[in-house]
Chains A and B, each alone.
Chain A
């Protein structure tokens, strides 16, 4: 019964938080309205969510967010230095293939988004069978090192979180 009422508890919670953020004021009325939206919207859209990914390890997920935020800051500075001080001829842009061990679409989406958000790398495409990502690096001397860093730093943790 509870499962039918709240088919996707994380989405319900997310909707409540986003609603409170949008009105920018926490009052009892807003919480009730946000909670109502959190109940109704997942119930209506449930047919479009055939698979429900489980976020297994919230602590690892929190650690992942912090690591990504830190990497964004570090990589931003690195890319700013490349743009400002490297002559165009010295910038070696490379395509890198990252073979994936992740299988769930949600996990691959998060990984692809993370790669794009950390400056210096952009996810360009997925292989047709979903088994590899094509990443473009602004400046990389060694494509194997880039691939290994993505795999060990991000993919390993995502595997723990989603599987």
Chain B
């Protein structure tokens, strides 16, 4: 295994590790849940990204087998990370915040955590009229 390849793989591993540890440190250091939510979204992007790039280079250049698994891991992370973050944020808002703590929607309707979508209220009113 060539030395320069080893160095490139190591550099990516170190980059991934550094961002992973900064993300974990952020979890400890930051003050409230909404701020802490920013730390894991970072660890999944560059932290895992660095390790995956290192893995692809290692298997591609050194073992001589092209590996697609890393691309799939990236794809699945990019699909799941925002949804998880969104759900954590929503449950935090529902439990710990009031609609008055948040900025205005600039729309006639409030945020979906506190308000029903327009169609639903109309349907409820229709149901009430039918009763």
List chain A positions with a Cβ less than 8 A from chain B. Answer: 18, 20-22, 24, 72-73, 76, 79-80, 83-84, 88, 91, 93, 95-97, 99, 112-113, 115-117, 119-120, 122-132, 134, 136, 138
* Best-buried of B67, B85, B109 by chain A (most CB within 10 Å): B85
- Say yes or no: B109 contacts A116, CB within 8 Å: no
- Cβ–Cβ < 8 Å partners of B68 in chain A: 20-21, 24
Closest beta carbon of chain B to A73's beta carbon, Å: 7
Closest beta carbon of chain A to B30's beta carbon, Å: 7
A136 to B97, CA, bound (A): 13
Residue of A nearest to B59 (CB): A24
Residue of A nearest to B38 (CB): A138
Pair count A-B, CB < 8 A: 137
- Cβ–Cβ < 8 Å partners of B86 in chain A: 112, 116, 122-125
Among candidates B42, B67, B105, residue contacting A127 with C-beta atoms closer than 8 Å: B105
User: A83-B25, A91-B35, A95-B103 given as contacts; is B118 within 8 A of A128 (CB)?
Assistant: yes
Main secondary structure of the interface of B (DSSP, over half): helix
- Cβ–Cβ < 8 Å partners of B38 in chain A: 79, 119-120, 122, 138
